[in-house]
């Protein structure tokens, strides 16, 4: 095969592959922009603002991201992760002693049964049991709302991370496309500088080693 023909084949193939990588990069960039814009718009619509620095509690002041974002509006995935884990998570832990919505279900059920039994027996402890039930019920409702909001914020954070990964992959596609484009152009230049009649010469096989006989 002639050297020019081989150079042209490799160069055209490289240009085609560069075009493919460019298209993939554009698609990934579009997905990254959609994810970032969607997360920003959805979080911004919630009008969530971090607690100002002068209003942070002692435990909150020990959390770096709460201090850094103090007083700012929540609009990014990283901020959503911080608010969900460090702010909501901290308050839920302090309010219910670390118990979740599911954990509070058992004591709530037990108190309901005790209240029903006390009502039937006209137990003097009825008022105290009703107060305990009301407290556990309020805690469980608050924990449910907090866990739901925390889950939604973490979902937004995960979506934003997918967008960030797509942006990184797009950058890799662009760099690969640029490298292949430059190599293909170099190949085309070399092809047109090569005489049409020059054939591709395969490397000569290495000579066999003949061991000397003692």
With respect to residue 13, please indicate whether it lies within any of the assigned structural domains: yes
With respect to residue 214, please indicate whether it lies within any of the assigned structural domains: no
Best CA proximity match to 22, nearest among 186, 164, 176, 187: 176
Percent of the chain at pLDDT exceeding 90: 53
Q: What is the mean pLDDT of the chain?
A: 86
pTM for the whole structure: 0.72
Range of the domain at 32: 3-193
Burial classification of residue 82, based on how many CB atoms lie within 10 Å of its CB (0-12 exposed, 13-18 middle, 19 or more buried):
buried
With respect to residue 211, please indicate whether it lies within any of the assigned structural domains: no
Q: SS3 of 167, please? A: helix
With respect to residue 129, please indicate whether it lies within any of the assigned structural domains: yes
Residues 118-163 pLDDT 10s: 888 888 888 998 999 999 999 899 999 999 999 999 999 999 999 9
With respect to residue 128, please indicate whether it lies within any of the assigned structural domains: yes
With respect to residue 48, please indicate whether it lies within any of the assigned structural domains: yes
How confident is the model at residue 213, as a pLDDT?
Answer: 45
With respect to residue 175, please indicate whether it lies within any of the assigned structural domains: yes
Residues 57-98 pLDDT 10s: 998 999 999 999 999 999 999 999 999 999 998 888 888 777
How confident is the model at residue 10, as a pLDDT?
Answer: 81
How confident is the model at residue 148, as a pLDDT?
Answer: 92
With respect to residue 203, please indicate whether it lies within any of the assigned structural domains: no
If one counts the domains in the chain, the total is 1
Per DSSP, 61 falls in state G
């Amino acid at each position: 095969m002639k050297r020019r023909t081989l150079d042209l084949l490799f160069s055209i193939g490289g240009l085609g592959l560069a075009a493919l990588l460019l298209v993939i990069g554009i698609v990934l960039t579009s997905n990254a922009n959609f994810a970032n814009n969607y997360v920003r718009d959805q979080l911004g619509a919630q009008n969530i603002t971090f607690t100002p620095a002068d209003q942070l509690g002692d435990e909150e002041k020990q959390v770096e991201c709460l201090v850094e974002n103090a007083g700012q509006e929540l609009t990014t995935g990283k901020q959503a992760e911080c608010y969900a884990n460090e702010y909501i998570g901290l308050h839920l832990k302090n309010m219910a002693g670390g118990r979740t919505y599911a954990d509070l279900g058992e004591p709530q059920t037990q108190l309901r049964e005790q209240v029903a039994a006390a009502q039937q027996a006209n137990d003097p402890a009825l008022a105290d049991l009703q107060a305990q039930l009301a407290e556990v019920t309020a805690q469980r409702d608050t924990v449910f709302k907090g866990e739901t909001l925390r889950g939604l914020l973490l979902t937004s954070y995960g979506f934003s991370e997918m967008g960030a990964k797509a942006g990184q992959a797009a950058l890799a596609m662009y760099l690969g496309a640029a490298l292949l484009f430059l190599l293909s152009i170099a190949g085309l230049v070399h092809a047109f500088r090569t005489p049409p009649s020059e054939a591709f010469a395969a490397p000569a096989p290495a000579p066999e080693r003949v061991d000397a006989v003692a």
